[in-house]
Amino acid sequence: NFPGDSEARMLLAKLCYAAGDYPGAVREFEKLLNDGSRDPVLLENLLLARWKNGQDYSKPLSELRARGAAGAFMADYAEGRVKYELKDYAGAQALLKKAVEAAPAAGAFVDQAALLWMAGDSAYRNNNREAAGFYLTELLKAGPGHEEGRILLAKIGKARVAAQKAARAQSAKKKK
């Protein structure tokens, strides 16, 4: 009823996205951009909607990167999320590492748990157990109820103990 109401349009776009109506989400996010809004959250949402809709998302990604520290953080997080969901864990790990490092300077970030989980899981899937352990420990500090994080961290701990035990046995064998 109020086509000029940007809050209503943003809500509609987010509802379209949540319902899996990615063409509708893209259309509504782009209308907001055409109305002159260049809010970094809008650009991030458009980037993700365009990706989910099978469209090129390079323009909102580059606009985000041009928005200073907060924009670069959001770009790294969004692109890292895309790569993670595409199972490109090496690409995701590099971008999510940058996002984790930049998060404090970028200001408040609502979904810290998702960022730390994806960073930890990507590192784990890349056999970088040290980085995975760090991210998962941070995840559990921020939200001790993250069950997947707790399970994966325990798995890493058990593997670390087994590796240390094997190394001691190998060392003792060499001394004989």
Contact 102, 69 (CB under 8 A): yes
pLDDT band, residue 6 (cuts 50/70/90): confident
pLDDT class of 50 with cuts at 50, 70, 90: very high
Span 125-144, pLDDT tens digits: 999 999 999 999 999 998 88
Output the pTM of the full model: 0.85
Q: Residue 7: enclosing H or E segment and its boundaries?
A: helix 6-18
Task: Give the DSSP per-residue string, 105-158.
Answer: HH---TTHHHHHHHHHHHHHHTT-HHHHHHHHHHHHHH-TT-HHHHHHHHHHHH
At residue 3, the pLDDT reads 60
Decide if 135 contacts 116 (C-beta within 8 A): yes
Higher pLDDT, 168 or 122: 122
| Residue 70 CA, distance from chain mean position | 14
Neighbours of 163 (CB within 10 A): 11
